[in-house]
Structure 1
Amino acid sequence: MSESKPKILTIILNFKTPELTLKSCAAALREMEGLDGEIVVIDNGSEDDSFVMLSHAAEQNGWTQNNRVRVLDSGHNGGFGAGMNFGMQARLSNGSAPDFYYLLNSDAWPDPDAIAKLRDYLIENPKAGLVGSAIRGTDDTPHPTAFRFPSMGGDFEAAAHTGVITRWMKNAVVRLPIPETDTKVDWTAGASLMVRREVIDQTDGFDETFFLYFEETDLCRRAAEAGWSTHYLPESCVVHIGSASTGMKTWSRTPGYWFDSRQHYYTKSKGSGYFVASTLALIAGGLIWRFRRLIQTLPQVDPDWFLTDLTTHLLRSPFRKTAARSPTISVPISEDQT
């Protein structure tokens, strides 16, 4: 870390949501007051009027003075990780690298001192490489964003939705109870996440093979392998609409890139055999839930055709070398896995 006041580069990605992005930028700009750093807004290949709207609004609002805010065009929609990498590679306006990168979703707005508290936590905890905020919805409902790494047991438990199984496999449950104090976690969501520059230097940033989903999980896993821990800080709070760009909450069917990203994560971290076994565990858990629905009045919890699509993807996986990143898929760069 530099001997002078630590510098922060806040990165906000836009994909066809310029109004929300401007609101997010205004909130971030307010919270960056008194902190040393800048904001870079990346239009991630929206192919609409977003870049022009964002650039014009930033100029009209006086945000571009002294390079407080820069609006850049990534040129294509390579996904969440690619967009964030583009922002990090932009560096500060003087060409230097910051001490910390603050990643903020375009549909998220930090509470007072939220950014400063993340920065201070990393300063006070030199072994911490990443720290994320507590997230709540616009209705003040807390969003769980503290997790264990995905696993075969975690997939089975999550798909089964059955209390006795959850109690039996409590140490495999991926979604942790929302911590009330600062807590070391395996990974946390990227809606409001501060990352130490050294983590990015040692991991080369996000793996751009992930188009969307699992990229923060993978980054936290590789950071852990390099000796850096990830933390959840409830004192830093952010309001997050969630899925404003992705439409995840209204999916009628799970898109192919989610299955591709899941395959890439497991294959990369634990091998192709583990990917197959974990997928079979996910199918088995899903069948338990579907059997329960036959004999009880229980809701549908997965998108339509989920098990069919999951099984089809598994059967085709031997012919798929890596997770596909199709440039024809029109999906956004901001995400919410909660």
Structure 2
Amino acid sequence: MPTLAIVILNYNGQPFLAKFLPTVLANADGHPVYVADSASTDNSVGFVKANFPDVRVIELPRNEGYAGGYNQALDYIRTHDGGATYYVLPNSDIEVTPGWIAPILSLFEANPQMAVCQPKIRSYSQRELFEHAGAAGGFVDWLGYVFCRGRVFATFEADHGQYDDNRRVFWATGACLFVRAEVFHQTGGFDASFFAHMEEIDWCWRVQQLGYEVWTCGQSTVFHVGGGTLPKSNPHKTYLNYRNSLFMLYKNWPADGWLWGKILLRLVLDGVSALLFLKVGQWRDISAILRAHFAFYGRLPELHRQRKALQRQQKNDARLYPRSIVWQYFVEGKKTFAAIMGADTL
């Protein structure tokens, strides 16, 4: 059984495969590389088979997003190819670098409780800057809003080595996610109802409640184009982010927490963000936020069942950031991770 399987989920991403697969193969360190294709219509499968014979292709029957697609692909590898000890799930628009794998595998081997890890994620187009999707490891505040070392809302830090350490974080990015295979399958993988966006944060939250750890590795760096499947300005991305954030908050918030008070505060703050979209005339994003909230309320019975099931399995509380990053960023003017955290530690 190989130590690591490199698994790239693809949907109509042939240009990215052409551009970035050669780099992945050149830096695979002998580990098998898979492309799991989600019923693409752009001849991605034929292109990979014709041009990259060393790549193992998994043809999925339909597009079920990041969450459902990776669940199926990793289950296929486990049942048909004997599995692997670890998986890494780089987006198709990720440029890897020499030596990106070894430091993270060393961290896994040194820490049996580590279930998830990510490298530093920098921007492909502005290479000195951290990228939106994960930067140098993420956290979640007391209202369920996410932020990263190196990226808070729309403020992106340059990488000056300030995050070159290896440390625990709350969540690791799905843009280039390393996972311990045993834990992934034990937990049932991602919540497929998320489709895409925040499913990795939800999963990181769940695995911590089971006693596992999430880490970031400062000795590994990759570059991310971002928005390869859904551009940042796409209203459907707005819908998924707002909806899935509420899904995640309701499912995972501790039993003794002030859950519905937080949901009401989120309703207010999401309304404020809708006004910001109104200010710039992005009407479809306002509609997306409204639809996200109604989708959340409509799914409450199922979310409640999931919440109760997770609480029965829970061993530990995952440590959330105890303040509001919305307040700190927009009111107090604290724009960087260091300014926000101050003397606080997690």
Q: Out of 27, 32, 46, which is 1:52 matched to?
A: 46
Residues 299, 315 of structure 1: alpha-carbon distance in 2 compared, 3 angstrom cutoff: closer
Question: Counterpart of 1:188 in 2: which secondary structure?
Answer: coil
Distance 1:278 1:24, change over 3 A: farther
Say whether residues 1:19 and 2:15 are aligned partners.
Answer: yes
Secondary structure, in 3 states, of the residue corresponding to 1:193?
Answer: strand
User: Is the CA contact 2:115–2:183 (under 8 Å) kept in the aligned structure 1?
Assistant: yes
For 2:24, the equivalent position in structure 1 comes to 28
Q: Distance in 2 between matches of 1:207 and 1:181?
A: 30
Of residues 143-152 and 201-210 in structure 1, the stretch that sits farther from structure 2 once superposed is 143-152
The whole-number CA distance in structure 2 between the counterparts of 1:221 and 1:176 is 15
Answer whether contact 2:242 2:292 (CA < 8 A) is retained. Answer: yes
Q: 1:269 aligns with which of 240, 252, 261?
A: 252
TM-score, normalised with respect to structure 1: 0.73
Note if 1:143 corresponds to 2:127: no
The count of residues paired between Structure 1 and Structure 2 equals 284
Pairs within 5 Å for 1:106-145: 106-138=92-124, 139-140=126-127, 141-143=129-131, 145=134
User: How far off is 1:32 after superposition?
Assistant: 1.5
2:149 corresponding residue in structure 1:
177
Q: CA deviation at 1:229?
A: 0.5
RMSD of aligned residue pairs (Cα, Å): 3.2
* CA spacing shift, 1:102–1:123, aligned 2, 3 Å: same
Tell me the CA shift for residue 90 of structure 1: 2.4
Equivalent in 225, 237, 241 of residue 209 of structure 2: 225
Sequence identity (%): 23
Change in 2 beyond 3 A, CA 1:252/1:101: closer
Superposition map of 1:174-323 within 5 A:
174-178=146-150, 179-247=163-231, 249-251=232-234, 255-270=238-253, 277-285=261-269, 304=283, 306=285, 309-311=288-290, 313-315=292-294, 317-321=296-300
2:19 counterpart letter in structure 1: K
Q: 1:136-170 deviations in whole A, cap 9, x for unaligned?
A: 11221212522223542x54xxxxxxxxxxxxxxx
CA contact (8 A) 2:14 2:42 kept: no
Measure, in 1, the Cα distance between the counterparts of 2:254 and 2:40.
Answer: 35
Q: Residue in 1 aligned with 2:320?
A: none
Cα gap change, 1:91/1:151 in structure 2, threshold over 3 Å: closer, same or farther? same
Pairwise CA distance, 1:96: 1.4
> Is the contact between residue 278 and residue 286 of structure 2 (CA under 8 Å) also seen in structure 1?
no
Residues 240 and 292 in structure 2, CA contact (< 8 A), matched pair in contact too: no
Q: Aligned equivalents of 2:211 and 2:8: distance in 1?
A: 27
Structure 1 residues 216, 253: CA separation in 2 closer, same or farther (over 3 Å shift)?
A: closer
| Distance apart, 1:299 and its partner CA | 11
Contact 2:235–2:285, Cα closer than 8 Å, also in 1: no
1:142 aligned partner, one-letter code: F
TM-score, length-scaled by structure 2: 0.72
- 84-93 or 190-199: which moved more? 84-93
Query: What displacement does 1:209 show?
Result: 1.4
Kindly indicate whether structure 1 or structure 2 has the higher relative contact order, using CA contacts under 8 Å at least 6 residues apart: 1
